[in-house]
Chain A
Amino acid sequence: MTKMIGMTGNEAVAEAMRQINPDVVAAYPITPQTEIVQIYSSFVSNGQVDTEMVTVESEHSAMSATVGASSAGARAMTATSANGLALMWEIVYICASMRLPVVMPVVNRALSGPINIHNDHSDTMGARDSGWIQIFSENAQEAYDNTVMATRISENKNVLLPTMVMMDGFIISHAMEAMTTLPDDVVKKFVGNYKPENPLLDIANPVTIGPLDLFDWYFEHKRQQAQVMIDAKSTILKVSREFGKISGRNYGLFEEYMLDDAEIAIIVIGSTAGTAKKVIKDLRANGIKAGMLKIRVFRPFPATEIVKAIKGAKAIAVMDKSDSYDAVGGPVYKDVRSAMYGKRGGKIVNYIYGLGGRDVTEQNIHSVFEDLKTIADTGKVANQVTYLGVRE
């Protein structure tokens, strides 16, 4: 019988990692992720896991050591945030293109500059084209669940792509919540033993991994990578269904909250969904048909599925906790709007919000729904992109 316990997001992810028991963890501390690997290193010191812990001199080395370990045939993990992810950059792309099933919790934090340690999504949104699967979590429970599922998803023979599991820095990583964990043996059985495909340590079958790949072959290998991301959706759903059976918690590519008959809807990612649910409940009590779609899997992007889910809404606000600084709007907005192109549907507007940890209040979300109500009633959009919660 599982019981409710109090855990922070970082503790929950470290606990999931303990239960997964990877062969190698190579990591470097960075706020607000530090606690994950700090807690994990105590598991290593206490002999609670079999992991070879590699304390490296930078995140570039953390990802390099993880890629090396994974190429050798190990189940390998690391974790990072913001500038740490930025320093990994070169190897982040290499990890995905070498098709190594690394799992990396990323605690979302604003990317410098100016330097800031608080939450927004600018770090992992920058990595949206890196070829990694990206799964966002609303709370500590989801961060735990997604970390366990990510291992199965990445290591699936039809996928073999690395996965980033995100949670909002401080808001989730450092706040204690009631949640449940699964028994060790259940997680162990669920993730199973990792069977690497072409491990370098299989000396009876020597292979070369990561050779020079010029104009004769590079395009073919990138095409393979594109297809495996397209196909990954079905594996993600399959693993999520199996996880539902052991946990009772069911996950799709996104969560729909009162969306069926919603006339106005917002699309959010991460912890803001919790605030939005409360606002939607209040609006519904006043007879306003508001709803929400919370994106869980951002890469691969569930374009057709989202279009189907929001087609009934007259006005939709896409909430972006990062900006693209391209004079067009945030990254989530552009993906949603692009998915809706040529389809019948409501007006879509964008809100850039919460940058650098700017608090997102119920009032902020209320104001978005007020705007959406006006758009739905008049059919007119006053502002395509709005910066929400900034001092004018």
Chain B
Amino acid sequence: MIPDKNKGWKDVPKAGRILDPGSAIEYETGGWRTYKPVHTKENCINCLFCWIYCPDCAIEVKDGKMVGIDYAHCKGCGICVKECPTKPEKRALVMVKEDEETGKE
């Protein structure tokens, strides 16, 4: 669990230690993105290269199929897009500027 930010120095674990395992999921890093990967299901061959290469476990897979991206944790590094082997005319993953798709910030 991420400690409560209202807690003072006397009440937090010493030396910045994180005493609960697996708590990184609570720490959302999606806001770091400038570009984001966008998945097109029809073009995807489900090779799962993106899943293997993603350094943040942000590729969502269900029943052996790539189903989407966890945008709460994807930092927009672009590795999945770089590794995606789909043909240029039928890309399954492309990088899009963060506000282009929606037209909003």
Distance (whole angstroms) from the CB of A132 to the closest CB of chain B: 14
Collect the chain B residues with CB atoms within 8 Å of residue A221's CB: 9, 12, 14-16
User: Could you list 19 examples of A-B contacts with CB < 8 Å?
Assistant: A97-B15, A98-B15, A99-B15, A160-B14, A207-B17, A207-B18, A208-B18, A210-B15, A213-B16, A217-B16, A218-B16, A220-B12, A221-B9, A221-B12, A221-B15, A223-B9, A224-B12, A224-B15, A227-B9
Digitize A199-216: 1 where CB-to-B-CB distance is under 8 Å, 0 elsewhere.
000000111111101001
Collect the chain B residues with CB atoms within 8 Å of residue A218's CB: 16
Across the two chains, which residue of chain B brings its CB closest to A198? B17
Interface presence of B61 (CB below 8 A): no
Collect the chain A residues with CB atoms within 8 Å of residue B64's CB: none
Collect the chain A residues with CB atoms within 8 Å of residue B8's CB: 220
Collect the chain A residues with CB atoms within 8 Å of residue B19's CB: 198, 205, 207
Q: Would you call B18 and A220 a contact (CB within 8 A)?
A: no
Distance (whole angstroms) from the CB of A96 to the closest CB of chain B: 9
Distance (whole angstroms) from the CB of B19 to the closest CB of chain A: 5
* Number of chain B residues whose Cβ lies closer than 8 Å to a Cβ of chain A: 14
User: Could you tell me which residues of chain A, from 218 to 275, have a CB within 8 Å of some CB in chain B?
Assistant: 218-221, 223-225, 227
B positions within 8 Å CB-CB of A: 3, 5, 7-10, 12, 14-19, 21
A positions within 8 Å CB-CB of B: 97-99, 160, 198, 205-211, 213, 216-221, 223-225, 227
Collect the chain B residues with CB atoms within 8 Å of residue A213's CB: 16
Q: Would A211 and B16 be within 8 Å (CB), given that A220-B8, A220-B9 are in contact?
A: yes
Collect the chain A residues with CB atoms within 8 Å of residue B9's CB: 219-221, 223-224, 227
Collect the chain B residues with CB atoms within 8 Å of residue A219's CB: 9
Report how far A211 CA is from B7 CA in the complex, Å.
18
Distance (whole angstroms) from the CB of A345 to the closest CB of chain B: 34
Report how far A230 CA is from B14 CA in the complex, Å.
16
Q: Say which residue of B7, B10, B15 sits within 8 Å of A209 (CB atoms).
A: B15
Report how far A238 CA is from B43 CA in the complex, Å.
72
Q: Would you call A210 and B16 a contact (CB within 8 A)?
A: yes
Closest 4 CB pairs between A and B?
A: A208-B18, A220-B9, A213-B16, A206-B21
Having A217-B3, A224-B10, A225-B15, one finds 10 other A-B pairs with CB under 8 Å, namely A98-B15, A198-B19, A205-B19, A208-B18, A209-B17, A210-B16, A220-B7, A220-B8, A221-B16, A224-B14
Report how far A277 CA is from B21 CA in the complex, Å.
57
Report how far A213 CA is from B15 CA in the complex, Å.
9
Distance (whole angstroms) from the CB of A377 to the closest CB of chain B: 50
Report how far A51 CA is from B16 CA in the complex, Å.
29
Report how far A219 CA is from B10 CA in the complex, Å.
12
Collect the chain B residues with CB atoms within 8 Å of residue A99's CB: 14-15
Distance (whole angstroms) from the CB of A250 to the closest CB of chain B: 32
Report how far A219 CA is from B8 CA in the complex, Å.
10
Collect the chain B residues with CB atoms within 8 Å of residue A224's CB: 9-10, 12, 14-15
Report how far A220 CA is from B4 CA in the complex, Å.
12
